[in-house]
Amino acid sequence: MAQLGRFPLFRLGTLLARQLSVPVAQRIKRYAVHSPVVRRGVRRAGRCFHAAELRFRLWSLALRPPRDLPSISDQAALDTGANILGEAAVFALGGLIVVLEVNRQAIKQEDKVLEEESRWLALRLSLEELRRELALQQQDIDRLFATLRRLAPDLTPPATPHGPPELQPRSKAEGIPPPKSQCD
C-alpha cells in the first residue's frame, strides 16, 4: 500500500505511449498507402520483405530456392510494406521508451551515489573540523595549565589521559575547600 502513494508517472506515461502507438501505426499505414511518394518506397520494401520471407521459408525447409521468385501483386506489396512501416514505428517507440527508462534509472542510481558521497564528504569535513577544534582547545588547556602553574605553584594538575584534569592541592592541610554544589 505504501507503494501506491508513490506511483511513478513515467511508467504511466510509457503505458499511455504504448497504447497510443497502435493508432499512430495505423495512421502511418494509411499515409503510406495514400501518398504517391511514400507508396513507391513502401511497395519496394514490401516486395523485398516478401522475397526475404520466401527465401527464409525455403531455406528452413531445406529446399533449394528457384531462380526467379514468384512476385506478389502491387496491392499485396503495398499492404506488406505499410504493415512493416507501422510495425517499425511501434518498435521504434518501444525502443525509445526502453532507452528512456534505462537512462532514467541510470540517472537515479547516479543521484543516489552522489548523495551518498556528499554525505560521507560532509561527515569527513565535520570530523576534520572537530579535530581542529579539539587541537585548539587542547592548546588553550595547556596554556591555561602553564599559566596556573606559574601563578599557583603549589597546585599541580594530575595527569589524566581521558577528560579534563582536576586541580588538587599538594597537601590536604593546604587544601582549598571543595566547590559547593549548585543544588544546595
Model confidence pLDDT, tens digit, residues 20-76:
777 888 888 888 888 888 888 888 888 988 888 888 888 888 777 777 778 888 888
Residue 184 has pLDDT above 50, yes or no: no
pTM above 0.85, yes or no: no
pLDDT band at 165 (very low <50, low <70, confident <90, very high): low
**Residue labelled with grid coordinates 525509445:** 96
Which amino acid belongs to residue 40?
Answer: R
pLDDT band at 171 (very low <50, low <70, confident <90, very high): low
What's the rounded mean pLDDT across residues 105-134? 94
> How far apart, in Å, do the first and last CA atoms of the chain sit?
58
User: Are 79 and 26 in contact, with CB atoms under 8 Å apart?
Assistant: no
pLDDT band at 126 (very low <50, low <70, confident <90, very high): very high
Phi-psi region of 163 (alpha: psi -120 to 50; beta: other; left: phi over 0): left
Query: Helix 74-151 crosses helix 36-60 at what angle (to 10 degrees)?
Result: 90
Which amino acid belongs to residue 13?
Answer: G
